């Protein structure tokens, strides 16, 4: 959104400068037309008709005076002359049109003055026309861009509502399944219909389903907390190489249980960053957990830190390109992953959100090479 606003700002500035340039060029062309054609014609006409313009006041006072003169001329004879005389005294040395030609006298003289005012207003309007056209043009550009932004915002809101409804649906699905199992097994144990040799199996199942619900609720809480208004990272200097080793150590037992080989390509030097150690550790841990769950049994996992990039790669099943576009969305999982791997689909979404809050980005590389089928890369 910030990028879109920045692009809009520069787009409007660019259009404003273009319009101002067009106004300047149009104004110069109109001024050239006035100087070379219109004004010489008017001066010649005034000289031919023996019309002189005198006075020391401004043009607007003159226009008001002429309009009042014209209104007064509509009054009966005598009253018109008196009012016009009083106007002359009241206006002082306003601009006046002195007509010496016998062709114009009485009301014809007043009409000539009104025509002169009309011509003046027309010339002034033509001179101001580029500014009016430019204002309308820029108004239309701004209106179109604002309407487009509103439409995009509406689409984003609809997409947000769709994803939220999908999120709630997935939450209900993931919680309902273990609850159904817990309720059924608990009832069977309470009613004593379970054979003694199977009681422990039932209890183990209830415990595992309860832990899955706890994991889901915990991840959901973390996801909501990160997106809540006012949440601020606790940034402190942190040795990133040490943090990576600690994160790998926390899940190393899980790697061993699946017979997975872990390769660390991490320097022994102190690589310091201003990060929230807890949250960044959670993001890295989610990537490692994802490698455990979706990596190949007996396969390889590589953790690398190089050139401000943290990489977690594995040689498990490749990710479908269509699914890869949505992999960082909450509860984004393929049907096979939902049924066999037991992931919540929130881990990668949380990791992406944490990295984004640090000013970096988390990306999926499906062509990492070196025998690995996929790699998640944190760019700090």
pLDDT in tens, 323-367: 777 788 765 554 444 444 455 567 788 888 889 888 888 998 888
pLDDT in tens, 239-252: 988 999 999 998 88
Report yes or no: 266 and 245 within 8 Å, Cβ to Cβ.
Answer: yes
Instruction: Decide if pLDDT at 261 tops 80.
Output: yes
Higher pLDDT, 84 or 378: 378
Same domain, 248 and 193: no
SS3 295: coil
Domain that holds residue 363: 236-379
Same domain, 149 and 202: no
Encode burial over 335-350: b for 16+ CB neighbours within 10 A, e otherwise.
eebbeeeebbbbbbbb
- The mean pLDDT of 108-124, rounded to a whole number, is 71
Q: How far is CA 340 from CA 50, 171, 194, 332, in A?
A: 103, 17, 27, 15
Same domain, 184 and 259: no
DSSP code, position 318: P
CATH of the domain at 329: 3.30.565.10
Same domain, 243 and 372: yes
Encode burial over 137-164: b for 16+ CB neighbours within 10 A, e otherwise.
ebeebeeeeeeeeeeeeeeeeeeeeeee
Instruction: Decide if pLDDT at 139 tops 80.
Output: yes
Q: How far is CA 239 from CA 244, 271, 277, 279, in A?
A: 9, 5, 9, 14
Same domain, 198 and 302: no
Same domain, 9 and 73: yes
Distance CA 25, CA 330 (A): 55
Predicted pLDDT at 225: 74
Predicted pLDDT at 311: 92
Q: How confident is the model at residue 312 (pLDDT cuts 50, 70, 90)?
A: very high
Q: How confident is the model at residue 179 (pLDDT cuts 50, 70, 90)?
A: confident
Q: How confident is the model at residue 40 (pLDDT cuts 50, 70, 90)?
A: confident
Same domain, 57 and 6: yes
Same domain, 180 and 148: no
Q: Is residue 166 part of a domain?
A: no
Same domain, 242 and 198: no
Query: What percent of the chain shows pLDDT beyond 70?
Result: 75
Q: Is residue 119 part of a domain?
A: yes
Q: How confident is the model at residue 378 (pLDDT cuts 50, 70, 90)?
A: very high
Same domain, 307 and 326: yes
Q: How confident is the model at residue 124 (pLDDT cuts 50, 70, 90)?
A: confident
SS3 300: strand
The number of domains in the chain is 3
**Taking Cα atoms as reference points, which of 287, 211, 203 lies closest to residue 243?**
287
Q: Is residue 186 part of a domain?
A: yes
- The mean pLDDT of 59-63, rounded to a whole number, is 58
Q: Which residues, other chains included, contact 231 with Cβ-Cβ below 8 Å and sequence gap of 6+?
A: 225
**Taking Cα atoms as reference points, which of 341, 233, 323 lies closest to residue 282?**
233
Q: Is residue 146 part of a domain?
A: yes
pLDDT in tens, 182-223: 898 898 888 888 888 888 888 988 888 888 788 778 777 777
Q: How confident is the model at residue 32 (pLDDT cuts 50, 70, 90)?
A: confident
Cβ atoms < 10 Å from Cβ of 303:
21
Same domain, 375 and 311: yes
DSSP code, position 268: S
Predicted pLDDT at 336: 45
Predicted pLDDT at 60: 56
Predicted pLDDT at 338: 41
**Domain stop point among 227, 248, 265:** 227
- The mean pLDDT of 92-104, rounded to a whole number, is 53
Distance CA 137, CA 131 (A): 10
Same domain, 223 and 241: no
Query: What percent of the chain shows pLDDT beyond 90?
Result: 6
The two beta strands, 261-265 and 300-306, are: parallel
Q: Is residue 164 part of a domain?
A: no
Distance CA 18, CA 137 (A): 11
Maximum average pLDDT range among 71-75, 81-85, 358-362, 365-369: 358-362
Predicted pLDDT at 337: 42
Distance CA 103, CA 374 (A): 97
Instruction: Decide if pLDDT at 119 tops 60.
Output: yes
Q: Is residue 160 part of a domain?
A: no
DSSP sequence for 321-336: HHHHTTTTSTT---HH
């Amino acid at each position: 959104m910030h990028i879109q606003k920045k692009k809009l700002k520069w787009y409007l500035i660019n259009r404003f400068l273009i319009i101002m340039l067009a106004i300047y060029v149009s104004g110069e062309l109109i001024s050239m037309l006035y100087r070379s054609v219109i004004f010489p014609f008017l001066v010649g006409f005034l000289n031919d008709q023996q019309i002189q313009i005198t006075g020391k006041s401004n043009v607007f006072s003159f226009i008001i005076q002429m309009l009042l003169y014209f209104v007064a001329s509509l009054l009966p004879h005598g009253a018109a002359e008196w009012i016009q005389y009083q106007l002359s005294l009241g206006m002082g040395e306003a601009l006046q049109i002195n007509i010496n030609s016998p062709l114009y006298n009485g009301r014809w003289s007043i009409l000539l003055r009104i025509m002169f005012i009309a011509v003046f207003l027309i010339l002034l309007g033509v001179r101001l026309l580029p500014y009016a056209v430019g204002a309308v043009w820029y108004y239309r550009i701004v209106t179109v861009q604002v309407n487009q932004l509103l439409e995009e915002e509406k689409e984003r809101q609809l997409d947000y509502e769709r994803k939220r409804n999908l999120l709630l649906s997935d939450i209900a699905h993931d919680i309902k399944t273990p609850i159904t199992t817990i309720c059924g097994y608990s009832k069977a144990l309470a009613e004593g219909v379970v054979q003694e040799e199977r009681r422990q199996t039932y209890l183990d199942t209830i415990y595992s389903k309860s832990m899955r619900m706890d994991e889901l609720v915990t991840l959901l809480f973390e996801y909501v907390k990160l997106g809540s208004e006012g949440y601020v990272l606790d940034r402190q200097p942190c040795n990133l190489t040490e943090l990576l080793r600690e994160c790998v150590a926390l899940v190393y037992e899980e790697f061993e249980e699946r017979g997975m080989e872990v390769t660390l390509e991490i320097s022994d030097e102190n690589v310091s960053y201003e990060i929230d150690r807890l949250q960044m550790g959670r993001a890295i841990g989610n990537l490692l957990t994802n490698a455990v769950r979706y990596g190949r049994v007996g396969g390889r996992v590589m953790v690398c830190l190089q050139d401000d990039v943290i990489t977690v790669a594995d040689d498990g099943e490749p990710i479908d390109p269509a699914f890869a576009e949505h992999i960082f969305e909450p509860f984004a999982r393929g049907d096979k992953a939902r049924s066999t791997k037991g992931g919540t689909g929130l881990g990668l979404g949380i990791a992406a959100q944490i990295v984004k809050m640090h000013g970096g980005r988390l990306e999926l590389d499906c062509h990492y090479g070196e025998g690995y089928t996929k790699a998640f890369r944190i760019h700090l």
